[in-house]
Structure 1
Amino acid sequence: MLADGLHVLFCGINPGLMSGATGHHFARPGNRFWPVLHASGFTPRQLHPSEQRELLSYGLGITNVAARTTARADELTGEELRAGGRMLLEKVERYGPRWLAVVGVTAYRVAFGDRHARVGPQERTVGSTRVWVLPNPSGLNAHWSAAAMAEEFGRLREAAGLPVA
């Protein structure tokens, strides 16, 4: 779901099995993306994955680094992530969002060859698009609580100059 002039383009790693089956991003019930997106103020209510098109009305978009469906993101090869990173850069150059928000620091590091990247704003830009790395909202990521993720997503929302929805 892309459009010209987005405030933020969220980029997941790749479709999980449920997302692959439904065609909806972050569709697995244990995934925290949609609750965190709402808790951070990007959306006025928690959207269901099937409502992902509504993101466009808030100036938000969503895509993935890699297209191949897997049970776990760590099943992707480094080459798949690097190739996906190159395609993502082409999308960003084409659509020109103000911010690219890559969800998952490990995948970001591989896809963009930045071994030292940390969650938060990055020095790297893609044209005029700024880059922010967010924690992976997968239920498998026990290092981040939903509340801590919502705080980080909220930092991005504030940096993007967006009011609480």
Structure 2
Amino acid sequence: MVARGLSVLFCGINPSLMSAATGHHFARPGNRFWPVLHLAGFTPRQLRPAEQEELLAYGLGITNLVARATARADELGAAELQEGGLLLAEKAEQLRPRRLAIVGVTAYRTAFGEKKARIGPQERRIGGTRVWVLPNPSGLNAHWTARTMAEEYARLRATVTEDPSR
């Protein structure tokens, strides 16, 4: 679910088994992506996974680093994530979103060889696109609450609002 010139292209790690079965991103019950997106102010109401196409109207899109569905993201190997990083870079260069937001710092570190990366804006740019790393909204990520995740997502949203040209 992508288009050229998006404000933000969100990139999940890979589809859950539920997402693969339904064809909807972040479809697993307990995944906090949709509530967090709303709490951060990206959407005027909380969308359901089946409403993912509505994101395009808000200048948002979703893709994944790796296409292979798994029960848990930690089932992916480093080579898969690195290949996914190459493919994502190609996609971002073609689509030219203003921000590329990768949800999952560990996956980002592996995919792009940035061992010390932290949540937030990265020095890396892909083409002219600024890269931002966000907390993984999986229910398995107990270090973050929906509220604290929404604060990080809102930081990203503010940069798009403050700098609409890029």
Q: TM-score, normalised by structure 1?
A: 0.97
Residue 18 of structure 1 deviates from its aligned partner by 0.4
Residue 161 of structure 1 deviates from its aligned partner by 1.0
2:126 aligns to what?
Answer: 126
Please list, as runs of the form range in 1=range in 2, the aligned pairs for 1:74-153 lying within 5 A after superposition: 74-153=74-153
Segments of 5+ residues of structure 2 without an aligned counterpart are: none
Residue 74 of structure 1 deviates from its aligned partner by 0.3
Q: C-alpha separation between the residues in 2 aligned to 1:11 and 1:61?
A: 8
1:20 aligns to what?
Answer: 20
Q: C-alpha separation between the residues in 1 aligned to 2:106 and 2:51?
A: 28
Please list, as runs of the form range in 1=range in 2, the aligned pairs for 1:11-50 lying within 5 A after superposition: 11-50=11-50
Residue 71 of structure 1 deviates from its aligned partner by 0.2
Identity %: 72
Residue 116 of structure 1 deviates from its aligned partner by 0.4
Residue by residue, what CA displacement relative to the aligned partner does 1:137-159 show, whole Å, maximum 9, x if unpaired? 00000001110000000000001
Residue 29 of structure 1 deviates from its aligned partner by 1.2
Output the amino acid matched with 2:53: R
1:4 aligns to what?
Answer: 4
Q: C-alpha separation between the residues in 2 aligned to 1:76 and 1:21?
A: 18
Q: TM-score, normalised by structure 2?
A: 0.97
Question: Does the residue aligned with 1:158 lie in a helix, a strand or coil?
Answer: helix
Q: C-alpha separation between the residues in 1 aligned to 2:46 and 2:65?
A: 24
2:157 aligns to what?
Answer: 157
Question: Does the residue aligned with 1:124 lie in a helix, a strand or coil?
Answer: strand
2:66 aligns to what?
Answer: 66
Residue 127 of structure 1 deviates from its aligned partner by 1.2
Residue 2 of structure 1 deviates from its aligned partner by 0.9
Aligned-pair RMSD on alpha carbons? 0.7
Residue 50 of structure 1 deviates from its aligned partner by 0.5
Question: Does the residue aligned with 2:84 lie in a helix, a strand or coil?
Answer: helix
How many residue pairs were aligned? 162
Output the amino acid matched with 2:94: R
Residue 53 of structure 1 deviates from its aligned partner by 0.5
Q: C-alpha separation between the residues in 1 aligned to 2:157 and 2:8?
A: 8
Output the amino acid matched with 1:57: A
Segments of 5+ residues of structure 1 without an aligned counterpart are: none
Residue by residue, what CA displacement relative to the aligned partner does 1:78-101 show, whole Å, maximum 9, x if unpaired? 000000010000000000000000
Residue 3 of structure 1 deviates from its aligned partner by 0.5
Output the amino acid matched with 1:133: V
